[in-house]
Structure 1
Amino acid sequence: MPESATDQPIFRDPGHPLRKRVDDLLSRLTPDERLAMLHQHVPAVPRLGVQGFRTGSEALHGVSWIGEATVFPQAVGLGATWDEDLVRKVGEAVSVELRAFHHHRTPDTGQGPHSLQAWAPVLNLLRDPRWGRNEEGYSEDPVHTARIGEAYCRGMTGDHPDYLRTAPVLKHFLAYNNEDDRCTTSSGLRPRVLHEYDLAAFRPVIASGAATGAMAAYNLVNGRPCHVTPLIESELRRWAEPTGHQLFVVSDAEAPSNLVDPEHYFDDHAVSHAAALKAGIDNFTDHGEDSHIPLGRLREALERGLIDQDDIDRAVRRQLELRFRLGEFDPGLDPYAAIGPEVVDCAEHRALAREAATESVVLLKNDGLLPLDARPGPRIAVIGPLADTLYEDWYSGTLPHRVSIADGLTAALAARGGEVVHVEGADRVALRSTTTGELLGKTPFDVNEWGDDVLTLRAADTGLHLSLKEDGALVADQEILKTWFVNETFRLEPADGGRVLLRSVISGRYAAVDPEDGRTTVTADTPDTAEQWERELLHDGLAAARAAAQSADAAVVVLGNHPMVNGRETEDRTGIALPATQEHLLREVAAVRPETVLTVMSSYPYAVDWADQHLPAVLWTSHGGQETGHALAAVLLGDADPAGRLPQTWYRGDDELPARLDYDIIKAGWTYQYHRTAPLYPFGHGLSYTDFGYGDLRLSRSSIDQDGTVDVTVTVTNGGSRPGSDVVQLYVRALDARYEAPRLRLADFRKLRLDPGESRELTFRTPAERLAHWDVATGAFTVDPGGYEILVARSAGHCVLTAPLTVTGRDPEPRVVVERRTLTADFDDHTAIALVDAAPTHGDAVTPADPGRPATLLFRGTDLSGAVRVEVEVAREDTGTDEARLELRASEKRLAAVDVPVTGDRHRWTTVTAELAEPAVGVHDLHLTLHGEFRLRAFRFSGSC
């Protein structure tokens, strides 16, 4: 029974400070009750009147997985708006709807109300456009991502000083940008990349107080799982301290169990769970609603002394603080408790979804075809697999309604007396068994290809997709594709005599027909045992598309991806080319109708080189949510200016991209900052229907000191005949840097709307820290004195105004390596090095990426004066290899060679000393070359005694 009001405990009294209330409630909980709070599904404590709690609702671009709710553009589409005010409004709308679900709709699981902790936004940077979850991030740039992410968080939390509307959790910490083998791959982050790039997306959002939590990522960083990284405490929580609130850190689903299997980082689960808790994981999302196993592991860890009660209490205290801030214990004071169910997909939110979808459309190319001719009675052919449908992605909400591009154009042209003719462009085929003569599924199928010859087959009679069932049967019964395991993808592989074999993508098996009962099952392991099918073309999709295009004044070809196929969570894309059949469809249409607009609707960039060269207009939109069609119609017909700008680089088709697991953006050449080949469309690119001019670039001063600030002022003028939107982008560049500086780096941006003839003066206050780089010699951000450029640009590939800026101050000293321990991970450059963990809980080391070839570290400008010997910290397993040796050179002169002994374990370190060939003198570039398989953690030069 709850305690009586006359004996009201401190935690029930809002007159007490938050931390006192948290401490009071914590003190009343038993050890078992506290332990239970470490699992995602927290049970109620009836004796205290404390309700159950569940961490995590999905809310990336709308409330997800729990019913119909307003669906906004994908996160990458919201990033394309470059509009913080708009994104904040979207975050607010999503949080309002989540509140409505929390108060008024009970989940079927019986686990209490829907959680007000929202697992969004995703701040992982879009380094590689092949990432299967590209749609979930905002951009490839940390400044842009942090600004958009903070705006979304502020919309989610609300503006009340004491209570949160919802509690946003930042995903996924850290350096998570690949899906294939994501639970076992390691992202190698040298300190410069770590601090300048990956951490830079999270740091401002947490330091601002806009985020309430973070989720650890599945992957490893430098050989250590993210769920036990010391960066949770040394970085995330350090940034949050000035906000006055604790950061609540959760695990990703099943990731705690992954620490033992498949990662094999720890030998048993009690040890792994203890390590995660001590590293800063406050809540374990593991084994679904069944808390018995993960809590049993934590209880065992407690009994074995691997953790103590303080470790548990620390995590529980963070959870309780969040629950107090969400108003759980003050229902009468909670300012958001009165939100009703009528807000879900309300008119206001529909209008906002339409605005967001419109603002996210990016015009990539336009030779004058757009906006489409608005004369009375235009006839437009809308063609392609995405022309008359909208797809949900894994983190979409359930669409309450769908306005396709064909729908949107039809509605918009009705007032103009125009007409839309829609053709999907898909072939309709009959697959007839050579064994029985029967049609597969007793119906023809419409065939769409989504890349790599992966097909979906949609029954012509019902419109439902063919699906593989658990018993191997094939049934056309799926309206949409949105399950964790997608059973609706197939390949048609060639067989003898022009026949085909039907193969399931997910199982790898082939369809076979039982000759006795004629039943078709996907059970054949080899082509030899598979059924051969006669493929009969009933409807030629290309011919229909050509005919529609010929009959129209213009064609809009809508191509792109299905968000659940060939690029999604757990699956990276194999490349960036359009699906082959889609590319062929586009070329066929353009051949008969030169007035063709390519509209790419996709979760990621494509290499549309041919379209850029041959078509008059190219547009891009992410999967833009329920109002996509209205948004695209407005832009295509000129009722809205294309206001979006690319949030990531679109590379050319013949551009050989870096290896997908090479996270060293500096060395590999990732993103606009370091890529060495001109892209198809650069970061920040996007055209308008009006003409914007930039002029009168002024700096408030021509030089600043290393802690100074400069005001950058520019005048923007709409010189066209119609209103429009522009994104003014401010970049910086270091000249003659002593380190490998970015080609450009975004420092600030501002979106504005101007009427025809209107001018506006913008001022960007730019502190010197925007010019800073991570100095590996000092382990801190620094601004070198010297020359810089301030650039005002339309994109990273189109700078229009530049101004020089000088930073004054003392020149950097040479790196001190004598009588000072130098970590090997703090190198300036390397060849063939891999970053690894020095110990399970802390520290980095280096090792050859391939033990069969030498690997080299470069430390620039080291002062070796007086050095006579060197000490190196090494670890080496007994792998049976013959040689393990470290060679040290100053410039081209050999200093010493060190034979590396076997230490028996990769984390067992020893120090080896070697005398230099002769005493060192002066400042040199120091080269360390590793031969063989061993790890190198640090070195230290010393002088004579």
Structure 2
Amino acid sequence: MSSSSLSATVRLPFHDSELDVRKRVDDLLDRLTLDERLAMLHQHAPAVPRLGVGPFRTGSEALHGVSWLGVATAFPQAVGLGATWDEELVRRVAEATSIELRAFHRHRPPTDGDAPTSLQAWAPVVNLLRDPRWGRNEEGYSEDPVHTARLGEAFCRGMAGDDPRFLRTAPVLKHFLAYNNEDDRCTTSSGVRPRVLHEYDLAAFRPVVASGAATGAMAAYNLVNGRPCHVSPLIEDELRRWAEPTGHELFVVSDAEAPSNLVDPEHYFDDHVESHAAALKAGIDSFTDHGLDSATPVGRLREALERGLIDETDINRAVRRQLALRFRLGEFDPDLDPYAAIGPDVIDHPDHRVLAARAATESVVLLKNDGLLPLDKAAAPRLAVIGPLSDVLHEDWYSGTLPYQVTIAAGLEAAVGEVVRVSGEDRIALRSGTTGRLLGDTAFDVAEWGDGVVTLRSADTGLHLSAKDGSLVADEERIKSWDVHQTFRLEPVADDGDIVLLRNVLTSRYAAVDPDGRVGVTAETPETAERWSRELLRDGAEEARTAAAAADVAVVVLGNHPLINGRETQDRTGTALPETQAALLRAVADVQPSTVLVVMSSYPYALDWADEHLPAVVWTSHGGQETGHAVAAVLLGDAEPAGRLPQSWYRGDDELPHPLDYDIIKAGWTYQYHRAAPLYPFGHGLSYTDFAYRDLRLSSEVVPQDGSLDISVTVANTGARPGSDVVQVYARALAARYDAPQLHLVDFRKVRVGAGDSEALTFRLPVERLAHWDVARGAFTVDPGDYEIVVARSAGNHVLVGRLTVTGENPTPRAVVDRRTSAVDFDDYSDLVLVDATKATGDAVAPADPTRPAAVLFRAVNLTGAVGVEVEVARADGSGEARLEFRVADRSVAVVEVPLTGDRHTWTTATAEFPERLAGVHDLRVTLHGDVRLTAFRLTSATVVAE
């Protein structure tokens, strides 16, 4: 029952649309019983029939189109939208997505007694693409926080709509915070020191929240500095603080099953009652846990209330945020809701098809071109379209069901006439050594996706072989499930490639033949597995060579399957193309010099060989239903290659940092800090026309720290055809006192310029965009000094450079005497890990390996007057040494013995005196020996007498 169905005689103040929303929320909240309020803390909040309040569910998926609900317009993956660098286009994609979500909400019947489709959309993902091996790389926009925040805000505005009172849908930012690995994601801790936290990870979220465009956030699975994100103080201290000026609170939701993860597998709390209480108090408003079973998590929260771990104020605060959002979504004002009339005809609407085609086209990036592209369509070239992705489109986990599929082969055929289609896949038969029968009584086409992982597709039916319930059956047209049953390894026996074992990747079990001749995936060891004779029926590479040699141009389409070897829960092991795909490419290029490589992927690959040997290389993400039309338009010159890379594409021999090293500064992540030149830099993308940049002017070459300036530049299209470019403005500090980025993006704009035309652009640059997080002051600071403003076509292609001087007072040396200094506010470190000070708040440092010393360095410290030191320390293990050593100018000035505290979260103060009063400004180094945690220290100016 909805509130509108109540008769006028029982209408209550919260029904009054003329009343202030806050008063309406308070009125409804006051009318709910304690049990009703507790029930609303679960993802599936039940109806309250006595008040005419309907059921409510938090969360629908809408990352690049509505997903999981059936057929819906499928736009390019988020990383592809990131490649457009076009905020207005991203806003329009989100608008179309939200309109379709409204239609599902109103016209799709609820299932299993659940609420209607949620209008709270769990999108966009604004986690930064720090490591290109991240399994969920496809879900983010960019490796850069400015770029990500700008597109994230645009997406949120498109989802929310323009009505001043009502939301079309409610966008939720994912996933807070520092989440960029899948392997062991629920137990790994992202070590994020304050500079990285504020300049990088928070920087992607902060502008979106502060703009008021986002209505909520989802906490991440991982831990940060040893504390699970679901109990992070940053939810209140940062996220909600940014939202305060907007007049609306963020509604913060948990990720699926993450509240239970706090006990299992994280073991951060002793029991689920304690963990749920901590999450609620930290700011989690809705618990997505135990699926439709709300009784378990709600029961835990009820017990937490009974045990005094939470009180009704904590419950009311969360429920109030939910109700406020529901009022904004028009639930209680159906007659006033401007979006209530949206009908089902908007789903896969013709206008949305046009938009999908435009988004897919704008996201295509031309990585290399020696003049082969665009192809001359008028010459009617004979095209061979080759590769495992040439004639198929794949959905990812957050895709909707494609309304239709235009593959690259189909798109090219529609444009130029008949093309030759060759998958390049081997066709094999697997014959049982025991029975002599063919597996499945069919042949299989084999596609390899890297690390020896293959899929087997029946040559008769086109269905994928699956291992389900211990049986083998070819029954799946497409691979799209949480557990992927369709991936296998063909493991040679005794180096004989003709005799293989068939092993399922999901279960790690082998195919075996039972005494009745039935085949099952039941063998635990190679010894008990069936031996299969691998019979080659079609040589895919040879077929591809033949087709390529007979064509004028070969278009080879390679890449990934979004559900295999790089997906949610699984990171990639490297950046190389799958071995079979790389061999196919070399085979084609060997006979056809005019070979175009099209990479269709969710993430970057190392394309060194292709870049060196091929005339043209193109990248597209999995671009949705219109991928084929988009790629064909770019290859044939019907559209400009307008995309630019949203992340660096590294070289194959570039040894990337460890995936769990989140310190982009010290590890050298992204274009800002990576030392080696990438193959294709951030922002890279070629055009079919030529652009000239000229007349760079700064409105002032000297500005104060709190000032701003205008940057003007003219972009001229000097080529013979219209085109678009992304004008990128970077900055860098010269002679900085801190480890400054080599370059960092401060602004950008996509421009379309006609042949022979030019356009004058002006960028407004507040000087605060040059700021870094000053660890000595705990705030953003713009140091006075010299900076360069770089106008570029990519992070590696600098076109114009201007010099800027910022005036102001030079920073004073760090004050540490008679002042508490947090240990994490260091300038440099070695062999260190960041940990939690308590379960609720605070950070500390500890040796990464207690058997090796760790060190933190504080630069330019004013030591004048210091005669001793107090340290706040914890020590859980009583074995071995545990001490801190303070060194100044390579001289030891104090050694502090750390007493046993019995627990890593139990802190005590220890002291030591210096041999003499210190003076002057020096670097201060603190070395940690043994099992010791340090959260803060204070240099004292009066002698400390130990009690």
Name the TM-score, length of structure 1 as normaliser: 0.99
Match of 2:657 in 1: 658
Q: Does 1:376 align with 2:403?
A: no
Distance 2:877 2:745 in 1: 47
Task: Give the match's secondary structure for 2:264.
Answer: coil
Q: Distance in 1 between matches of 2:796 and 2:205?
A: 26
* 3-state DSSP of counterpart to 1:800: strand
Query: 2:127 aligns to what?
Result: 124
Q: Is the 8 A contact 2:447 2:456 kept in 1?
A: yes
* Cα shift readout 1:675-720 (whole Å, capped 9, x = no counterpart): 0000000000000000011000000001110100010000000000
The 1-side partners of 2:396 and 2:652 are apart by 26
Tell me what 1:186 maps to. Answer: 189
Residue 53 of structure 1 aligns with an amino acid whose one-letter code is F
Provide the secondary structure at the position in 1 that maps to 2:149: helix
The answer to whether the aligner puts 1:511 opposite 2:511 as a matched pair is yes
- The structural deviation recorded for 1:107 is 3.3
How do 1:219-368 residues align onto structure 2 when only pairs under 5 Å count? 219-368=222-371
Cα distance in structure 1, aligned partners of 2:793 and 2:379: 35
Counterpart AA for 2:929: H
Q: Which residue of 2 is the match for residue 55 of structure 1?
A: 58
Name the amino acid aligned to 2:58: T
Amino acid at match of 2:693: Y
2:7 maps to which of 4, 7, 10: 4
- Which residue is equivalent to 1:919? 917
Aligned-partner Cα distance in 2 for 1:108–1:534: 48
Output aligned runs, 1:815-830, within 5 Å: 815-830=814-829
Aligned AA (1:215): M
SS of equivalent to 1:499:
strand
1:766 matched to 2:765? The reply is yes
**In 1, Cα distance between equivalents of 2:381 and 2:198:** 54
| CA displacement at 1:28 relative to structure 2 | 0.8
Cα distance in 2 between the residues matched to 1:318 and 1:152? 22
Alpha-carbon separation, structure 2, partners of 1:621 and 1:336? 34
Q: Say whether the 8 Å CA contact 2:60–2:118 is kept in structure 1.
A: yes
Q: Deviation of residue 108 (structure 1)?
A: 2.6
2:90 to 87, 90, 96: 87
Letter of the structure 2 residue corresponding to residue 452 of structure 1: D
The residue that corresponds to 1:530 in the other structure is 529
Paired residue secondary structure (1:456): strand
**What amino acid does structure 2 have at the position aligned with 1:435?**
T
* Residue type of the alignment partner of 1:573: R
The alpha carbon displacement at 1:879 in A equals 5.1
- Aligned positions, number: 938
| Aligned-residue offset at 1:293 | 0.4
Aligned twin of 2:415: 412
After superposition, give the CA deviation of every residue in 1:536-584 in whole Å (9 maximum; x if it has no partner): 0001101110001001000000000000000000000000000000000
Q: Deviations over 1:385-414 (max 9, x none)?
A: 000000000000000100000000000113
Deviation at residue 376 of structure 1 after TM alignment: 3.2
Question: Which residue identity is paired with 1:272?
Answer: S
In structure 2, the residue matched to 1:494 is: 492
Counterpart secondary structure, 1:570: coil
Partner of 1:625: 624
Q: 1:178-205 deviations in whole A, cap 9, x for unaligned?
A: 0000000000000000000000000000
Contact kept in structure 1, 2:466 and 2:476, CA below 8 Å: yes
8 A contact 2:14–2:28 mirrored in 1: yes
Higher deviation after alignment, 488-497 or 594-603 = 488-497
Question: What SS does the aligned partner of 2:265 have?
Answer: coil
- What's the CA shift string for 1:61-111, capped at 9, x where partnerless? 000001100000000000000000000000000000000000111133330
Query: Which deviates more, 317-326 or 909-918?
Result: 909-918
1:884 correspondence with 2:882: yes
**Matches of 2:455 and 2:296, distance apart in 1:** 39
| Code of the aligned partner of 1:259 | L
Paired AA for residue 767 in structure 1: P
Secondary structure of 1:375's partner?
A: helix
1:898 corresponds to = 896
Match of 1:158 among 147, 157, 161: 161
Give the drift of 1:851.
Answer: 1.3
Superposition deviation, residue 211 in structure 1: 0.3
Contact 2:877/2:931 (<8 A) preserved = no
Q: Distance in 1 between matches of 2:549 and 2:376?
A: 17
Partner of 1:846: 845
Please name the residue that 2:433 is paired with: 434
CA contact (8 A) 2:105 2:117 kept: yes
Rounded to whole Å, the distance in 2 between the matches of 1:76 and 1:141 is 12
Offset from partner CA, 1:4-51 (integer Å, 9 cap, x none)? 313421110110011011001111111110000000001001111110
Partner of 2:713: 714
For 1:673, the equivalent position in structure 2 comes to 672
Task: Using the TM superposition, give the Cα deviation of residue 898 of structure 1 relative to its aligned residue in structure 2, in angstroms.
Answer: 1.1
Whole-Å separation in 2 of the counterparts to 1:318 and 1:242 = 16
- List aligned pairs for 1:678-827, cutoff 5 A: 678-827=677-826
- Aligned partner of 1:203: which letter? R
In structure 1, the residue corresponding to 2:155 is in which secondary structure? Answer: helix
Offset from partner CA, 1:595-652 (integer Å, 9 cap, x none): 0000000000000100000000000000000000000000000000000000000000
Which residue of structure 1 aligns with residue 146 of structure 2? 143
Structure 1 counterpart of 2:253, one-letter code: V
The farther-off stretch of 298-307 and 850-859 is 850-859
Query: Could you list the per-position Cα deviations for residues 260-288 of structure 1 after superposition, in whole angstroms to 9, with x for gaps in the alignment?
Result: 01000000111000000000000000000
Deviations 1:147-195 (A, max 9, x none): 0000000000000000000000000000000000000000000000000
* Distance of 1:106 and 1:388 partners within structure 2: 35
Residue 870 of structure 2 contacts residue 938 of structure 2 at CA under 8 Å; is this kept in 1? yes
What SS does the aligned partner of 2:371 have?
A: coil
Corresponding letter in the other structure for 1:42: A
Contact 2:836 2:844 in 1 (8 A): yes
CA–CA separation in structure 1 for the residues paired with 2:275 and 2:554: 58
Q: Do 2:372 and 2:594's aligned partners in 1 also have CA atoms closer than 8 Å?
A: yes
Are 2:934 and 1:931 aligned?
A: no
Report the CA distance between 1:806 and its aligned residue: 0.3
Identity %: 74
Measure, in 2, the Cα distance between the counterparts of 1:110 and 1:400: 28
Q: Does 1:113 align with 2:111?
A: no
For 1:508-549, what per-residue CA distance to the aligned partner results, in whole angstroms no more than 9, with x for missing partners? Answer: 1111111x2101111111111111000100011011100010
2:44–2:115 contact (8 Å) kept in structure 1: no
Deviation for aligned residue 1:375: 2.9
Counterpart AA for 1:906: R
Aligned-partner SS, 1:275: helix
TM-score (norm 2): 0.99
Q: How far apart, in 2, do the equivalents of 1:273 and 1:817 lie? A: 39
Q: CA deviation at 1:3?
A: 5.1
Return closer, same or farther for 1:432/1:927 CA change in 2, 3 Å cut-off.
same
1:855-907 Cα shifts (integer Å, max 9, x gaps):
11010000000111001111001252x11111111121211111111110000
State the one-letter code of the partner of 2:205. Answer: F
Which residue number corresponds to residue 861 of structure 1?
860
Note the aligned Cα RMSD (angstroms).
0.8
Q: Which amino acid aligns with 2:923?
A: D
Separation in 2, partners of 1:377, 1:815? 71
Distance in 2, matches of 1:107 and 1:172, equals 27
Q: Which residue of 1 aligns with 2:209?
A: 206
Deviation, 1:373, is 2.1
Partner of 2:940: 942
For structure 2, the 5+ residue unaligned runs are: none
Q: Counterpart of 2:810 in 1: which secondary structure? A: coil
Letter in 2 for 1:592: V
Give the conservation status (yes or no) of the 8 Å contact 2:854–2:927: yes
CA distance in 2, matches of 1:369, 1:580: 26
Q: How many angstroms apart in 1 are the aligned matches of 2:111 and 2:329?
A: 23
Residues 225-234 or 494-503, more deviating: 494-503
Residue 112 (structure 1) shift: 2.2
